[in-house]
A and B are shown apart, each in its own frame.
Chain A
Amino acid sequence: MARFLLMRLVQSVFTLFLVLAVVFVIARVAGDPVTLLVTFDASQADIDRLREELGLSDPLPQQFVRFMGDALRGDFGTSFRTNRPAMNEVLERVPASARLAGLSLAFSLAISLPLGVLAAVSRGSVVDLFARFLALVGQAAPNFWLGLMLIFFFAVRLGWLPTGGRGGLDHMVLPAIALGTAGAASITRLTRSALLDVLNSDFVVMARAKGLPRRTVIFKHALRNALIPVVTILGLRIGTVISGSVIVETIFAWPGVGRLIIQAINVSDFPVVQAAVTLTASAVILANLLTDIAYMLVDPRIRYVRS
């Protein structure tokens, strides 16, 4: 188990290294940052001086090593826009994003787990039909469209909730739904099909043959096995939620990392983009690592694997 964890840790670090390398390469390919920093009428001498200052005239390998060193210390340079450290700009936005992502995942789970279980145990019923319909629609609807529709109905027409912006829970409800619906849909489908599979297995027949009540058979014997694939998907959803937040936060003007990325891209504020991309990539890597650990806690078969 310790060995498995160590392996996954090494993998995670390697993935992070690759992410940083890609960020570095893209920054060099996307254009000369110096031209963005200087005014139209800057002289060639000014440009050369700035390039020297920023270390951009050094050979690429040297730049790469310096970039990696800086990155590991969290130093991605200063924002062109605000002249403040890029990482600070990003970190300031993290709590808002984390709150939204957390709420949207909670929304996904609160809808999908009960609905998936109910659909599976009452297969073919009206509840099952409803759950399958909802799952289909939820997966098919793109989050930006859903966001706009939610704003249109609940904020503009009914006036129940704000259209967007910074604020408390009421400001988070609509973006969390827009961001969490796709997850709710896919987890509903997965929970339903995984539970149906497990309910047909011999050990469920055995559990029933022991005279256990239906509740115990479903929740103790079947659901724990059915949740193993659900945990995997949940880990992957975290990545989807983070990438989805770029669009949803922009639509709802929610002051999170996603909206910052869009703003920074619009003004070619590369240090901020690099810092934000690195941070979100790290978050996804961490989420995957945590998923594997959660997986291990649920399934003893993985706990005991020796490589």
Chain B
Amino acid sequence: MTEQRTRASLADADTILSVRNLRTYFYTRDGVVPAVDDVSFDIRRGEIVGLVGESGSGKSVTARSIMRLVPVPGRIVSGEMIFQGRDLVGVSEGEMRQLRGAHIGMVLQEPMASLNPVLTIGDQVGELFAYHPDRAPDGSRDDAVAEILQRVRIPDAVRRMTEFPLSFSGGMRQRVCIAIATACRPELVIADEPTTALDVTIQAQVLDLLLALRAELGVSVLFITHDLGVVAEICDSVAVMYAGKIVEYNDVESIFARPQHPYTKALLASLPRLGERLAHLPSIEGQPPDLGDLPPGCSFSPRCPAAIDRCREQAPDATAIPGASGSGHVRCFVAADMLAAGAATANAAPSGSTP
């Protein structure tokens, strides 16, 4: 990849989405499940932000919250999501509908299930323009659809747009989904594990396509994945989620070079390395916690090798990482102490609590 990765130098005016203290809870019969709990991050223009975590860590619910498509019995409880000067938490459903598809696109994990089996590809792409006339191209709908399908490198687009999803392979369907998500040239695309269901070669093609579209359209991407390899390849910054919280958020180089949170460190340690042959890949001891029944203190403390007594009693707040761009932070007592010590020796400004 020759893409320029970090855009730390870009001014904050370039922030297109700013999520602050987002909480999305599920009110189930068995109690309240804090699927997204005090999540904050920013996405700048043209930036690809990775949202990483195990299944059930709240990544997808974060994505659905931004789209305001949280499935019942979930509900956004509090927080802010400032997108183009508007707080998505508060806008009306009608306003939200105008944003969805036109300004924020979404790609889902399962390309085989994300397209309507009884409608043609052309119809499924083209119908966007009927509901977002301000973003519709001049000229005929068919020409526009063909052009968009060509943009996502679907060969023979003019003929294929009359076909139904069943005659498309998984990789081709995911291209169609990306075409749908980007048809109206949105400012933001939320990609919820878009490559997880694809095999590796197709995965690489889809990633290349996303990078190309970023370059072509200047679109920002919230890229949800559990694959750190993919993150390293395409993301500019990374938010690591654990049990509904972002435990570490920083630019991609810093995350990989100087991970702060024990969970991030453990995740990186479990990545296989080329040229190393190990009998067993290191893995993180224990199981991710049940969100409906979280341990006291830091949710990661029962599995954490660095945990101290305080971690089991108190939940750590987000601590800004010195030198990190934007709102880079870590949510760990031990890491915060080490950062403070490091900052003190470097005689730098003491770190405060963010955001």
- State the A residues within 8 Å of B (CB): 201-203, 205-213, 216, 220-221, 224-225, 228, 298-301, 304
Least Cβ–Cβ distance between B91 and chain A, in angstroms: 13
Instruction: Indicate if the CB atoms of A300 and B166 lie closer than 8 Å.
Output: yes
Taking CB as reference atom, which chain A residue is nearest B128?
Answer: A210
Least Cβ–Cβ distance between B188 and chain A, in angstroms: 12
- Chain A residues lying within 8 Å of B110, measured Cβ to Cβ, are 202
- Chain A residues lying within 8 Å of B97, measured Cβ to Cβ, are 211-213
- Chain B residues lying within 8 Å of A202, measured Cβ to Cβ, are 108, 110, 113-114
- State the B residues within 8 Å of A (CB): 67, 69, 97-102, 105-106, 108, 110, 113-119, 127-128, 131-132, 164, 166-167, 177, 180-181
A64 to B28, CA, bound (A): 68
Least Cβ–Cβ distance between A299 and chain B, in angstroms: 6
- Chain A residues lying within 8 Å of B98, measured Cβ to Cβ, are 211
Contacts A206-B108, A206-B177, A206-B180 given; indicate if A221 touches B101 (C-beta within 8 A): no
A211 to B104, CA, bound (A): 9
Instruction: Indicate if the CB atoms of A212 and B118 lie closer than 8 Å.
Output: no
Instruction: Indicate if the CB atoms of A208 and B100 lie closer than 8 Å.
Output: yes
Instruction: Indicate if the CB atoms of A205 and B166 lie closer than 8 Å.
Output: no
Instruction: Indicate if the CB atoms of B117 and A300 lie closer than 8 Å.
Output: yes
A74 to B127, CA, bound (A): 53
New contact pairs (16) apart from A203-B114, A206-B116, A209-B67, CB-CB < 8 Å: A201-B113, A205-B69, A206-B108, A206-B180, A208-B100, A209-B69, A209-B105, A210-B131, A211-B97, A211-B98, A212-B131, A216-B131, A224-B118, A225-B117, A300-B166, A304-B167
Contacts A205-B69, A300-B164 given; indicate if A211 touches B101 (C-beta within 8 A): yes
Contacts A206-B106, A216-B131 given; indicate if A211 touches B100 (C-beta within 8 A): yes
Instruction: Indicate if the CB atoms of A209 and B116 lie closer than 8 Å.
Output: no
Least Cβ–Cβ distance between A224 and chain B, in angstroms: 5
Taking CB as reference atom, which chain A residue is nearest B167?
Answer: A304
Taking CB as reference atom, which chain B residue is nearest A198?
Answer: B116
A295 to B180, CA, bound (A): 28
A212 to B93, CA, bound (A): 11
A208 to B108, CA, bound (A): 12
Max count, chain B CB within 10 A of own CB: residue among A207, A220, A304: A207
Least Cβ–Cβ distance between B84 and chain A, in angstroms: 15
Taking CB as reference atom, which chain B residue is nearest A200?
Answer: B71
A225 to B116, CA, bound (A): 8
Max count, chain A CB within 10 A of own CB: residue among B115, B116, B177, B180: B116
- Chain A residues lying within 8 Å of B127, measured Cβ to Cβ, are 210, 212, 216, 220
- Chain A residues lying within 8 Å of B181, measured Cβ to Cβ, are 209
16 sample A-B contacts, Cβ–Cβ < 8 Å, listed by A number: A202-B108, A203-B116, A205-B114, A206-B106, A206-B116, A206-B177, A209-B100, A209-B105, A210-B128, A212-B127, A220-B119, A220-B127, A221-B116, A224-B118, A224-B119, A225-B116
Contact partner, A304, options B115, B166, B177, Cβ 8 Å: B166
A220 to B100, CA, bound (A): 18
A298 to B99, CA, bound (A): 31
- Chain A residues lying within 8 Å of B166, measured Cβ to Cβ, are 300-301, 304
- Chain B residues lying within 8 Å of A206, measured Cβ to Cβ, are 106, 108, 114-116, 177, 180
Instruction: Indicate if the CB atoms of A211 and B113 lie closer than 8 Å.
Output: no
- Chain B residues lying within 8 Å of A212, measured Cβ to Cβ, are 97, 101, 127, 131
Instruction: Indicate if the CB atoms of B131 and A213 lie closer than 8 Å.
Output: yes
Taking CB as reference atom, which chain B residue is nearest A300?
Answer: B164
Least Cβ–Cβ distance between B244 and chain A, in angstroms: 21
A298 to B102, CA, bound (A): 29
- Chain A residues lying within 8 Å of B131, measured Cβ to Cβ, are 210-213, 216
Taking CB as reference atom, which chain B residue is nearest A302?
Answer: B166
A202 to B114, CA, bound (A): 5
Contact partner, B117, options A207, A210, A211, A299, Cβ 8 Å: A299
- Chain A residues lying within 8 Å of B99, measured Cβ to Cβ, are 211
- Chain B residues lying within 8 Å of A207, measured Cβ to Cβ, are 116
Contact partner, B132, options A205, A211, A216, A225, Cβ 8 Å: A211
Instruction: Indicate if the CB atoms of B164 and A301 lie closer than 8 Å.
Output: yes
A206 to B180, CA, bound (A): 9
- Chain B residues lying within 8 Å of A211, measured Cβ to Cβ, are 97-102, 128, 131-132
- Chain B residues lying within 8 Å of A225, measured Cβ to Cβ, are 116-118
A209 to B105, CA, bound (A): 7
Taking CB as reference atom, which chain B residue is nearest A207?
Answer: B116
A221 to B119, CA, bound (A): 8
- Chain A residues lying within 8 Å of B115, measured Cβ to Cβ, are 203, 206
